[in-house]
Amino acid sequence: MARRAAAVAAETQRRIEDVLAEWLESVVNELPVESLSDAEVLALTEIHVSDEQQRALSQLLGENRDHELTSEGRRKLDELMRIYEHGLLRKAQALRVAVQRGLREPLQS
């Protein structure tokens, strides 16, 4: 974990202490999906990034593809990707819990 925190700190040009503090805060403030009410679980299955975040993410990804991304742009892209990936993980967890509780049908492939 220390190596990953050091890598994130270097990539985002932040102190390792700040990265670790952010990680710890997110763990403390976020309840496990399994402990949420049925309504909260169902709401979590419907989350998505905001239109503003989607536009910013698309723009930054385009700049990255075109090799025009600044260090500040890299930091913003990393942060938006972290938010996006975390949201996808929480949504997947909520879908699993919703199916286990019989709140939703299993997804068909």
pLDDT at 93 (0 to 100): 94
> Which of 4, 106, 108 minimizes the C-alpha distance to 45?
106
- Per residue in 61-105, pLDDT (tens digit) is 999 999 999 999 998 999 889 888 988 999 999 999 999 999 999
pLDDT at 107 (0 to 100): 82
- Per residue in 8-50, pLDDT (tens digit) is 888 888 899 988 888 887 776 788 899 999 999 999 999 888 8
Whole-model pTM?
Answer: 0.70
> Which of 87, 29, 7 minimizes the C-alpha distance to 54?
87
Q: Determine the Cα–Cα distance for residues 19 and 15; give it in Å rounded to an integer.
A: 7
